[in-house]
Amino acid sequence: MPLANVIKRIRRLFGASTNFNEGVRVVVNTEKLEQRVAVVENGMLEEYTIERTGTQHIVGSIYKGRVRNIEQGLKAMFVDVGLEKNAFLHFWDAIPAADNEEEGAPRDEIEHIDRGGKAKVKKKKITAKDIPGLYPVGAEILVQVTKGPIGNKGPRVTTNISLPGRFLVLMPLNDMFGISRKIDEPKERDRLRKILRKLNVPEGMGVIMRTVCQGKRARYFVRDLAMLVKQWKEISDRANSRNAPACAFQEPDLVERTVRDFLTEEVDEVICDDEPTTDRMRQLVGQISRRSKKRIHYVQSAEPIFDKLGIQKQIDNAFHRQVWLKCGGYIVIDETEALIAIDVNTGRNKGSDDLEKTILQTNLEAAEEVARQLRLRNMGGLIVVDFIDMKHRRDQQAVYKMMKDKMRRDKAKVQVLPISALGLMEMTRQRLHESLSTAVYDTCPTCHGNGRLKSTETMSVELQRRINTILQKYPDTEHDLMITVSPEVMHRLRTKDEQTLVEMERKHHGRLSFRVDQNMHRETVLITNAQTGKEMK
């Protein structure tokens, strides 16, 4: 069925507008070498994920590893989990979450609930000093990947294992209970607390209620908990029956993660261009909510679905260094190994006669776009945003609030600081794996990732300097040099610097011959002895 007819039929079924630029949709594109998932909100691309065939997504996977060495200086150990590089386990990440009050554990994401009931047996508190004794070299240890390998670094792991479900996150190795702080309605939180206290969670395990729990009945949580407990038993049995290093649980592929993480009540529909993938998603979501199966639709189209829905153009624009804003301003994004630098400019935004109002409008739009771009490009680490200077503190607070609000929907852990006296906003975003640009692009073989090439004038100056050095090195010898350069440099030498080279020949009693190599890099020059062919340095 044509895509337009499918969308109209879907809109009739749901009683909504036929305008595709309304509501929230998840679009899944399945091809032989790649799967792509785009989350589109009111026609605007908000999240984008790709997974290539043959690539291994290991964040969330659980391994039975073996401690290979302990680095006291780093307060960390390296664990062999069967991958190319040993995993990095910081002592803090080896302390049970219930004990890790002051070691930097991310405890601000949830409100912790005391379920009461049986009195707990008081245990000795475990600290970082105890870790080498608990896990000596050669010891087997069960770990979960929290950050994939990036560059030449191996994966980062933790012993605080968690299994995310549709509504709950099960923590099988500690008895901590909590509710996502993103659920901020007091009455709803009270209702969820009551349900949480009644859940039949196995002894020694804990659960966290995810944001999607809002408004859901208790039966959804009971079903989700049963599935997670069953899953943990299978993982535990697999780990106990295998020798380290071994994989006890492989994080699901992109399709299954999409069903788990994106198919919420806010999503109007899921559209997929591959029938087997559509059937698989329906089967997966049917285990949790049969009614949600109706929102998953197979679409057949001669034109690629991302092109048909206007998503591909937005994806292409997402990789540009300069991103334009609706108001006429723009942001410039530079990604380095250490941090992400983002600059905000007014550009074509002349605005009104009120300059401060124009600056505030540009900065507010920039804050919204920065939050979106960080999600789309999957950039993490330290991020610095240089906003246009604002005189009034209230304007700075408005921009800070906008950034906080827009980053709230981000699934990665984010920390945002207020604008400093220098007009800079600092933030951190959890980096689980390499950014999208790193996954999609290779380093340019021409500029080697610098984004710049030396000008032909610069190359001419450097070449003359090298020739002069060689000719002066052997003053008593007549020189016959062959210089090989790129076509652009040769054009410069012929049109601008020919006379200078002739004077150099006369001064040093040498002979200079030039040759063009069409395949030579602009910044490469080869100088050889014309008689012997030996390279001159």
Residue type for position 350: K
Longest CA span, the chain: 99
What is the reported pLDDT for 532?
Answer: 83
Please state, in angstroms and rounded to a whole number, the distance separating the CA atoms of residues 4 and 23. Answer: 16
Please state, in angstroms and rounded to a whole number, the distance separating the CA atoms of residues 408 and 260. Answer: 19
Please state, in angstroms and rounded to a whole number, the distance separating the CA atoms of residues 381 and 427. Answer: 8
Domain 456-529: CATH class, spelled out: alpha beta
Characterise 215 by phi-psi region: left (phi > 0), alpha (psi -120 to 50), beta (else).
left
| Edge-to-edge strand ranges of the sheet holding 510-516 | 510-516, 479-485, 526-529
Please state, in angstroms and rounded to a whole number, the distance separating the CA atoms of residues 149 and 432. Answer: 9
What does residue 131 show for φ and ψ, rounded to 5 degrees?
Answer: -60, -50
DSSP-derived 3-state class of residue 161: coil
Q: Quick one: how far is CA 135 from the chain centroid?
A: 31
What is the reported pLDDT for 99?
Answer: 55
DSSP 302: S
Q: How far is CA 432 from CA 47, 155, 276, 305, 411, in A?
A: 15, 9, 29, 28, 11
In this structure, are residues 409 and 352 in contact, taking their beta carbons and an 8 Å threshold? no
Pick the CATH number of 3-55+255-312 from 1.10.8, 1.10.3470, 3.30.1390, 3.30.420: 3.30.420
Q: Quick one: how far is CA 238 from the chain centroid?
A: 30
Q: Which pair of tokens denotes residue 175?
A: 């008895």
| Domain range list for the chain | 3-55+255-312, 64-248, 321-440, 456-529
Stretches in the chain below the pLDDT threshold 50: 1, 10-18, 100-108, 117-121
Neighbours of 313 (CB within 10 A): 12
Query: Is there a shared CATH topology between the 3-55+255-312 domain and the 456-529 domain?
Result: no
DSSP-derived 3-state class of residue 33: coil
In this structure, are residues 68 and 58 in contact, taking their beta carbons and an 8 Å threshold? no
Please state, in angstroms and rounded to a whole number, the distance separating the CA atoms of residues 380 and 366. Answer: 18
In this structure, are residues 62 and 235 in contact, taking their beta carbons and an 8 Å threshold? yes
Q: Which pair of tokens denotes residue 238?
A: 């697999």
Please state, in angstroms and rounded to a whole number, the distance separating the CA atoms of residues 229 and 242. Answer: 20
In this structure, are residues 443 and 480 in contact, taking their beta carbons and an 8 Å threshold? no
Q: What beta strand segments (E) does 109-161 contain? A: 110-113, 140-147, 156-158
pTM of the predicted model over 0.75 = no
Q: Which pair of tokens denotes residue 537?
A: 């340095």
Q: 342: exposed, middle or buried (C-beta count within 10 Å: 0-12, 13-18, 19+)?
A: buried
What is the reported pLDDT for 488?
Answer: 93
Please state, in angstroms and rounded to a whole number, the distance separating the CA atoms of residues 44 and 38. Answer: 10
Q: How far is CA 163 from CA 139, 158, 463, 474, in A?
A: 24, 13, 62, 73
Residue with tokens 């809109």: 11
Q: What is the CA radius of gyration of the chain?
A: 30
Characterise 460 by phi-psi region: left (phi > 0), alpha (psi -120 to 50), beta (else).
alpha
